[in-house]
Amino acid sequence: MGPPKRPALKGLSQQIAAGRNGAGDSFVRETFRLPRPEARQTARDFLNRWPKAAYWSEVESWRIVGDDEIEFTMRRLKSAD
């Protein structure tokens, strides 16, 4: 009995891509890249439009890019049912 087999890279890369694209979940995602003040206002507007209590809205991820720009992804449910 030797070491365990490595997973097939094609299948693994497909699973990773599906996870990044939100396949299989009920969330809508929007990604923005804006200067810091505009990014803050955009996130506030998003959360006001789709409240967390009803849509489970949140900033899913964010990072600083370039010269004080923020790239971020907002997530919410498709409906508040």
Structure confidence by residue, pLDDT tens digits, 5-16: 776 777 767 767
Indicate the pTM of the whole model: 0.68
Selection from 54, 65, 60 nearest residue 75 by Cα: 60
CA distances from 66 to 38, 42, 43, 44, 70 (A): 15, 19, 19, 22, 8
Q: Are 27 and 67 in contact (CB under 8 A)?
A: no
User: What are the extents of the domains in the chain?
Assistant: 27-77
- CATH architecture assigned to 27-77: 2-Layer Sandwich (3.30)
Q: How many CA atoms lie within 13 A of 58 on its CB side?
A: 5
DSSP 3-state of 21? coil
pLDDT digits over 24-79, tens only? 678 999 999 999 999 999 999 999 999 999 999 999 999 999 888 999 999 999 98
